[in-house]
A and B are shown apart, each in its own frame.
Chain A
Amino acid sequence: MVAAAASSYRWGMSTDTVIEVADLRVDYGTTTAVDRTSFTVSRGEVFALLGTNGAGKTTTLDVLEGYREATAGAASVFGADPLRYRDRLAPRIGIMLQDAGFFETLTVRQTVTAWRRFYRDPRSLDEAVGLVGLSHRVDTRVSSLSGGERRRLDLALALLGHPELLFLDEPTTGMDPEGRHQSLELVAGLVREGLTVVLTTHYLEEAEQLADRVAIMHRGTIRRMGTLEQVRAESGDARIGFEVPADMVTLLPATLQASIDQKHGNARVEVRDADPERVLRQLFSWADAHDVMLLGLEVRRGSLEDVFLSLPEEPENIGRMPGTVPPGGNRKGGTALDGDRGQADHGERADRLTTTGARS
């Protein structure tokens, strides 16, 4: 279906499917960066691709943005092959790139003015810089902007042409918390007006804040995909944590699947269970019976972080989306693109994924 759609460009297609990706594979020489990846994105939806550096997110986006050719499989945007019909698709698309440069000697005003000439009905300069909170920096040279301000300018350029589809590649990297909040609010507002967004990020709270559906990529393949609730549910259990005196640990109900970390005479207990209410009732009964306080009691549902961190524990062929295979398959040289990607271990993921505010 995708191949057929990609073979001709259908202007004004009525379908609600904006993006279709089917069995996409992208090789860099003997290295497979993306392998048999399939997903669709509907109009007005925010779809987040999550993963560590080198998971294949940006490569997937490169194909959808028309920068790179698929080695195998098919991708269509608005029913068209994004590489072949890039020029016609481009006015409908906004792209916020992760690593593209600016003309450093130009001011913000000059940059936006120059970029406006590339669009038929662009936002005004004032509107564009106002949207992203750069009005006060409009006569500042790009070379003097902070990292976060450059990302804001990036976003302003991506939104210049009133896009129907917005690609955001690590949109808030380098932004301060306020800038991040403002940018996400801006995007959320545009989504309410009907904008479709494909987002890649390793800030999980961004996905949790914005995304209708998420896909978690690892080593080039999608390992989990669905609504936030669906994906969280796959992480399984809720977490119930508390502290008790160390000498009480042995008295805990034997039915609890608890992990225990003892420190300074106290024990931090974490129980993972799909039915947190049952566990809590059991715990409160136990605490009453032993006259023990459950210090620092907290209950949280499974988060994207939990889902993500659970991936390396799985064998390669478990937890993968239907139709996918181990990255690189059995081909020779199915190793990491950037040398370390394939070696990404549990600890590395924890380092690279930021989870501020991710827990609820």
Chain B
Amino acid sequence: MSINPSWPRYVWPQVALSQRVYWQDIAFALVGAVMPIAMGIFPMVQVRDARPLPGGIRPIDLLAPSGLCVSIIWIAYAVINSAARRRETRTYKRLRATPIPQSAILVGEATSAALPALAQSGIVLAIAVGYFEVAPPVHWSLVVTGLVIGAITMGLLTFGVSGLLPSSELSTWIVTPFVIGMWILSGSLTVTSGAASTIDRISDYLPSTAFVQIVRTGYIGQDFVNHDLASHPQLSLSQAVDAIHQPLGVLILWIAVGYLLFRTFFTWEPRSSRRRGRVNSGTRGKRTATGSGE
């Protein structure tokens, strides 16, 4: 695929189209709009009157930053639904019959999923600060960075995984346990003791945990990556950036995995014709520029 100099102009039309289609299915859209906010706020409600932890920080101060991240985890739902459904109905094929570059279709779809998620994060933040009286973020840039990198990771991973899933209806059910699992293990639901269990150690390598750690460190301005909840030194921005190198590395790794999955498994065509395309690509030993393998 050649580089199209007018590539950016195609992304927003795709975002607008994806958004219009998304909101036409109002029931699904409302669930997608309300659930991440509810899931972000619910843990704060649970601990709003809880006593401070041994280190002096209130549980609600810990759960507010992670509440911002729930909508990022939910990007998986929006992407998996659009990718699987558009492929199944061959709408992707119709889109590809227009001048819009293939990469712009995907970026537009991902952006369409990410923008509402970021807006939802904003709403959760506003509620946390305005209603639960949580202090605003200390390092805004780090919070935004964590959310954006998290969104990119989730989008790419989900596009990659979508190629492995059988149908749009089944995809939702298959993805749900993973989304719930990532939500729980990310530390967005409860405040754990700080004593690292085996599960905690494993969860450190999940993408959701990684961007929660980045957002939490940036939001509170304290090191929650390398220190447990009882001991969390204050950090300047540069110190905070230095502190998040591990979760940042984890996210970069997951982005690489997502890209690999995408290149290997993502196809534009439905399952029935995908095998043919993949086999064909395999025969040639090379793929299309988008990795569709057709």
Q: Is the CB of B90 within 8 A of A114?
A: no
Flag if A97 contacts B1 (CB, 8 Å). no
Most buried by B among A26, A29, A68, A69: A69
B93 and A103 form a contact (CB under 8 A): no
How many residues on B have C-beta within 8 angstroms of the other chain's C-beta atoms?
36
Please encode chain B, from 63 to 101, with 1 for each CB lying within 8 Å of some chain A CB and 0 for all others.
000000000000000000000000001110110111111
Given contacts A91-B99, A99-B90, contact A9 B283 (CB under 8 A): no
Encoded as 1 (CB less than 8 Å from any A CB) or 0, chain B from 1 to 42 comes to 110100100100100110011001100000000000000000
B interface, over-half SS: helix
Would A69 and B281 count as touching, CB distance under 8 A?
yes
Report B-chain residues with C-beta under 8 Å of the C-beta of A229. none
- Establish whether residues A106 and B97, one from each chain, have CB atoms under 8 Å apart when the complex forms: no
Q: Smallest CB–CB gap between A137 and chain B, Å?
A: 18
Q: Assuming A29-B275, A86-B1, A158-B97, what are 19 further A-B pairs, CB within 8 angstroms?
A: A28-B280, A67-B93, A67-B96, A67-B294, A68-B280, A69-B284, A84-B289, A87-B2, A87-B7, A88-B2, A90-B98, A100-B91, A101-B89, A101-B90, A101-B94, A102-B89, A114-B13, A117-B16, A118-B99
A65 CB-CB contact with B under 8 Å = yes
| Interface residues of B, Cβ cutoff 8 Å to A | 1-2, 4, 7, 10, 13, 16-17, 20-21, 24-25, 89-91, 93-94, 96-102, 275-277, 279-281, 283-284, 286, 288-289, 294
Q: Nearest Cβ distance between residue B190 and chain A, in whole angstroms?
A: 39
| CB-contact partner of B97 in A9, A83, A100, under 8 A | A100
In A91-127, the 8 Å CB interface with B consists of: 91, 95, 97, 99-106, 110, 114-115, 117-120
Q: Number of residues in A with C-beta < 8 Å to the partner?
A: 38
Other-chain residue from A65, A100, A118, A120 in contact with B90 (beta carbon distance below 8 A) = A100
**Residue A39 CB within 8 A of the other chain:** no
Please report which residues of chain A, range 120-177, place their CB below 8 angstroms from some CB of chain B when the two chains form the complex: 120, 157-158, 161
CB pair B93 A100 closer than 8 Å: yes
Q: Taking A102-B91, A117-B13 as contacts, is the C-beta distance between A97 and B283 under 8 angstroms?
A: no
Give 5 nearest A-B pairs by CB, closest first. Answer: A101-B89, A117-B13, A100-B94, A105-B24, A95-B97
Indicate if the CB atoms of B99 and A87 lie closer than 8 Å: yes
Query: A residues within 8 Å of B by Cβ?
Result: 9, 26-29, 65, 67-69, 71, 83-88, 90-91, 95, 97, 99-106, 110, 114-115, 117-120, 157-158, 161
Task: Say how far B171's CB is from chain A's closest CB, in angstroms.
Answer: 17
> Shortest distance in angstroms between A341's beta carbon and chain B's nearest beta carbon?
13
A65 and B94 alpha carbons, distance in the complex (Å): 12
A and B contact pairs by CB, cutoff 8 A, 9 listed: A28-B279, A28-B280, A67-B294, A69-B281, A99-B90, A103-B17, A106-B24, A114-B20, A120-B99
A85 to chain B: which residues have CB within 8 Å?
2
State how many angstroms separate the Cβ of B145 from the closest Cβ of chain A. Answer: 31
